[in-house]
Amino acid sequence: MLVFKKTKDLQDYLRPKKAKGVTVGFVPTMGALHKGHLSLVKRSKGENDVTVTSIFVNPTQFNDPSDLANYPRTTDTDLEELIAYQNDIVFLPEVDEVYPESLEEGNEFDFGYLDKPMEGRFRPGHFTGVAQVVSKLLDMVAPRRLYLGQKDYQQYRIISEMIRQQGRDVESVLCDTVREEDGLALSSRNKRLSERDRKDALIISQTLFGIQERARKGETLSNVKQWAESNLYSNPNVEPEYLEIIDAASFKAVTSWDDAHHIIAFAAARVGPVRLIDNVIIF
Ligand code: AMP
The model's pLDDT over 159-172, given as tens digits with 9 standing for 90+, comes to 999 999 999 999 99
Is the CB of 201 inside a 6 Å radius of any atom of ligand 1?
A: no
In short, whether 177's Cβ falls inside 6 Å of ligand 1 is yes
The model's pLDDT over 220-260, given as tens digits with 9 standing for 90+, comes to 999 999 999 999 999 999 999 999 999 999 999 999 999 99
Annotated catalytic residue within 34, 37, 126, 261: 37
Mean pLDDT value across residues 27-33 = 98
Compute, in angstroms, the gap from residue 204 CA to the centroid of ligand 1: 17
Cβ–ligand 1 contact at 187 (below 6 Å): yes
Q: Cα(189) to centroid of ligand 1, in Å?
A: 11
> Position 133: which residue type?
V
Ligand 1 atom with the shortest distance to the CA of 37: 8
Q: Looking at residue 16, what is its pLDDT?
A: 98
Ligand 1 and 185: CB distance under 6 A:
yes
Distance of CA 145 to the CA centre of its chain: 16
Write out pLDDT tens, residues 68-123.
999 999 999 999 999 999 999 999 999 999 999 999 998 899 999 999 999 999 99
Would residue 34 show up in a list of annotated catalytic residues for this protein?
A: no
